[in-house]
Amino acid sequence: MSIKLKNATFLIKKQLYQELNFEIKDQETKTILYSEVAQSNNFKKILQGYYPLQAGSFKVDGYDMVNKNWTKRKVANITPGDKLIKKWPEKLWMYGSLLVNSAFYANAKENYLDAKYSHLNLASSKNNQTDLEMRNNVEEIVDKFVKTSIEIETNWLDEFFEQISAFNNKSIDESGDAFDPRMKVIIKDYYKLSEKTRNLVLMETFLESLWDKVYSFLDLNSACSCEYNAKRSKQRSEKKLAKELAFHQQSYVIRKRLKIIDIHVRQTKRQIYRNNFVIKSLNKQILKSVFKSHKRKLKHINELFQWNEISRDQRFEFKKKQEKMYYDALSDEANTIRGKIVERMHRYHNNLLNGEIEKGNPQEFKEQVQSLKTKIQTVYQQAGQWIDDTIKELQISFGFIKTTFKWSVLNTVYFKFLQAMYLKKDNLVFSDIFSKLSNSEAQELLQATEILKNCQTKTSVIFLEDELSNVPKLEKPIYLLSAGQIVPKTLGEIIIQHWDDFGAKFLAGKNKIKYTYENKHLKIGDKKMKIEDFELEPAGVLVLDPSKLYLSKKDFKGDYISIEVTETKIKNYLDKNLRSFIDQQGNKYLVLSSEPVDKKIKIYITKAALLKFN
């Protein structure tokens, strides 16, 4: 999802930060570089909500940080390290993490019920194609009724939510200077979530009412006299048909739909419970702030605003319209649907009594029944399949262990990575990962995070590293955690401004070249370049910015010095676009470029590449 720190300060005993400003949005990846372990540890704790906010703003997934437990459910801190796992708990933990995901569980349960009742419905038709056609028609009628009703209700609730939210936000903005901008944002979040939750309560009531209407489709015997007449018929052949004339064919269709509605009801209740937890925490946070700033002790936020009465009146009027929908419109539509079901089944009864029944191919029917039976998967089986599919989709080399032993670092990272996905933690923070992995393992992990961001578009990824060589994308801004701040910097700025912490180790003796300077001209070897922007010592050593060295003249403008080089193998650097070269004098260079080159390679040194001289 997203994390946003704006002028944020926190209540930490050993205050290591000034005002923090940092933002990461959906589908973004950012790298934070640090030199002090204490600052890194505190920053990770800040992201997980360990420290209370003193001033400024800290938003996670669009909401101001509520408390530690809430924030930890949104942010996953993934660290390396071996982990001793036994064979049976390993699968149990992975499946358990996935089953906690209410969206997956509801979907898996719905899939199971759909497959199970589709199989039972087909098997109970006993290869009677006329009967099966009637059942399919009834299922189509009921499904359309349920889906259309839910769609209409959802649209009504969404429209009212937009209307009431706009009113609430406007009223909060017009409350003057009673609250600072940060507190107004939190109050808006409170009312926004409160209105959402009230809508969920209405949706729950609607679904329960819908369940009652669908349940009424089970008992339709009194609507048709065919069974009654057959039982009392003097013709033996007609009496034998009495059981088939009973209204039981729709049973599996209706019960399947009832169980699926029940899943949606339970899911809605769980969401209401989670929202109420956040609402309660937000209310507490607001009242605490009001007491500090205004010395007023209140029981509830609603005591602060008179306009809230108007908002409640709007909600009351909307609720009355909803009740009319539950008890009148929905009932009328259900009666219409009941009539359609009876009419379709009565038509089948006439076909049955007149001997107009079509039987299917016994072998084909048997194969169809068996095929549907094999599609029935329990929730646990679907969890296993989901895990396997996820691993395959992410293209990661993760496998369940066969015996009890210590996992590799990569397996541990993937285990935590998958757990975070299944627990719907969309904000992933990888801490000091790449130094523990080989280059190929690190590239595989980077690829997996990119695939995940494309599949789950609310994902954001932060890499927290202590070495510049472990930054995956050196051409992008690198966020430096230093001197109590988080500041975006370029590769060249970090090398020159933080030479002792990062630059010297990153270059490792490369990108240093001797020069002479005379009459506004820089001379390297036998090549010259005019320098008028700044003065240099008569002679010394230059340090070159890898991101400002080029392999093609079309990539830059201005003066340059070219040097013939040969490409060499590169190790211990994560960015795939960082390349290594050596010239005839033995000088080594790092160049950040994806430019294809011929056998004869030249490096072009521009003025912008000159970082340091002595």
Provide DSSP, 524-572: ETTEEEE--SS---SEEEEEE-GGGEES-GGG--S-EEEEEEEEE---S
Q: Could you count the other beta carbons within 10 Å of the beta carbon of residue 227?
A: 18
416: its two tokens = 């935590």
Cα-based distances in Å from 435 to 39, 81, 391, 575: 19, 11, 23, 13
Cα-based distances in Å from 500 to 224, 333, 547: 90, 76, 19
Q: Which residues of the chain have pLDDT under 50?
A: 84-88, 401-406
For residues 105 and 383, give the distance between their C-alpha atoms in angstroms, rounded to a whole number.
9
CA 218 to chain centre: 40
- Position 163 scores a pLDDT of 93
For residues 4 and 60, give the distance between their C-alpha atoms in angstroms, rounded to a whole number.
7
pLDDT tens figures, 33-83: 998 888 888 888 888 888 877 777 788 877 776 667 778 888 999 988 655
- 398 neighbors 414 (Cβ within 8 angstroms): yes
HEC assignment per residue over 459-478:
CEEEEEECCHHHCCCCCCCE
Q: Could you count the other beta carbons within 10 Å of the beta carbon of residue 108?
A: 23
- Position 405 scores a pLDDT of 44
pLDDT tens figures, 254-269: 999 999 999 999 999 9
Report the DSSP beta bridge partners of residue 523. Answer: 516, 528
Q: What is the pTM of this model?
A: 0.74
HEC assignment per residue over 75-111:
EEEECCCCCEECHHHHHHHHHHHHHCCHHHHHHHHHH
525: its two tokens = 């070897």
Domains of the chain: which residue ranges? 3-86+405-488, 128-359, 502-611
Map residue 296 onto helix, strand or coil: coil
pLDDT tens figures, 365-406: 999 999 999 999 998 888 888 888 888 888 887 665 444 444
Q: What is the CA radius of gyration of the chain?
A: 34
For residues 463 and 470, give the distance between their C-alpha atoms in angstroms, rounded to a whole number.
9
Homologous superfamily in CATH for domain 3-86+405-488: P-loop containing nucleotide triphosphate hydrolases (3.40.50.300)
- Position 221 scores a pLDDT of 67
Kindly write down the DSSP assignment for every residue of 158-205, as one continuous string: HHHHHHHHHHHHHHHHTTGGGS-HHHHHHHHHHHHHHHHHHHHHHHHH
- Position 614 scores a pLDDT of 55
Query: Which helix H or strand E contains 327, and what residues bound it?
Result: none
For residues 187 and 182, give the distance between their C-alpha atoms in angstroms, rounded to a whole number.
9
Alpha helix (H) residue ranges in 325-378: 330-353, 362-374
DSSP 245: T
